[in-house]
Amino acid sequence: MRLKNVPGSREAVAASDFVVTEAERYKGCWKRDIFANDNPIYTEIGMGKGKFITTLAAQNPDINYIGIEKYSSVLIRAIEKVQADPLPNLKFIRMDAEDIEDIFGKGEIGRIYLNFSDPWPKDRHAKRRLPSRRFLGRFANILADGGTIEFKTDNRDMFDFALEEIEPAGWKLLASTFDLHNDPKMNEGNIMTEYEEKFSAAGNPICKYIIAPDKE
Ligand code: SAM
């Protein structure tokens, strides 16, 4: 993704009430200390400008949402979106998902959304891909019983890679489609992300899977 530097965004993100800083302090205590309720926590990793997660949070007040994004220049756009209409069930963290196990305890997260994750096309960068077995191992450690990952992309090579990673990572496929917008069952309630709008408008079919750790 091409990034435009937004001057002052790092400071603005750090100062925002919507952003949790020093997030490792809340490991194991997010429901109590941050949301003050016992509702499940869902996270979107690589949330970009935040249309997907802010829409979901507005639709589902009984679920807590945490949007994770690596770059302040992008996260600042999500903060601008919620400033006008704050949501008590939505927080953001600026971090690299590599460190996710420092932030969340075992079983703390009910669902992980990966939307249009960076494809890292070079083979030597495959382990940076969020649906890679390396990341799936980390995600398995923070997911609650019955927890799932939902992954969407228009990049067919990335999707094929992600499908091949499922079994070796110790996960199982629950559902999948190579054309989400023409799959009435899987598309029900679908919320388009910024990238999804752009790529589907260009005529690209959207792939999606839902997976869960294979406990058998
Ligand atoms: N999910 C949004 C969408 O669908 O419109 C944005 C997609 S964009 C291609 C991928 C986003 O993931 C970027 O904003 C990037 O900075 C973020 N990202 C990539 N790797 C990440 C990581 N390891 N940790 C946190 N964010 C990451």
Domain parsing of the chain, residue ranges: 9-213
How confident is the model at residue 161, as a pLDDT? 98
Q: Would you say residue 159 has pLDDT above 80? A: yes
Residue 216 has what pLDDT? 73
Q: Does domain 9-213 have CATH number 3.40.50.150?
A: yes
Nearest CA to 49 out of 115, 110, 109 is that of 115
Residue 3 has pLDDT above 70, yes or no: no
Instruction: Give the DSSP per-residue string, the chain.
Output: ------TTHHHHHHH-TTB-SSGGGGTT-IIIIIISS---EEEEES-TT-HHHHHHHHH-TTSEEEEEES-HHHHHHHHHHHHSS--TTEEEEES-GGGHHHHS-TT-EEEEEEES-----SGGGGGGSTTSHHHHHHHHHHEEEEEEEEEEES-HHHHHHHHHHHTTTTEEEEEEES-GGG-HHHHTT----HHHHHHHHTT---EEEEEEE---
Query: Is a pLDDT exceeding 80 seen at residue 1?
Result: no
Selection from 188, 110, 111 nearest residue 151 by Cα: 111
Q: Ligand 1 centroid vs 150 CA: distance in angstroms? A: 15
Catalytic, 118? Answer yes
The burial of 60, by beta-carbon neighbours within 10 Å (0-12 exposed, 13-18 middle, 19 or more buried), is given as: middle
pLDDT digits (tens, 9 = 90+) for 195-212: 999 999 999 999 999 999
Whose tokens are 């704050």? That residue is 86
**Ligand 1 center from residue 216 Cα (angstroms):** 32
The residue whose CA is least distant from atom 11 of ligand 1 is: 46
Nearest CA to ligand 1 atom 12: 46
Q: What is the pLDDT of residues 80-128, one digit of tens each?
A: 999 888 999 999 999 999 999 999 999 999 999 999 999 999 999 999 9
- The pTM (predicted TM-score) of the whole model is 0.97
**For residue 118, which amino acid is it?**
D
State pLDDT tens for residues 55-83. 999 999 999 999 999 999 999 999 999 98
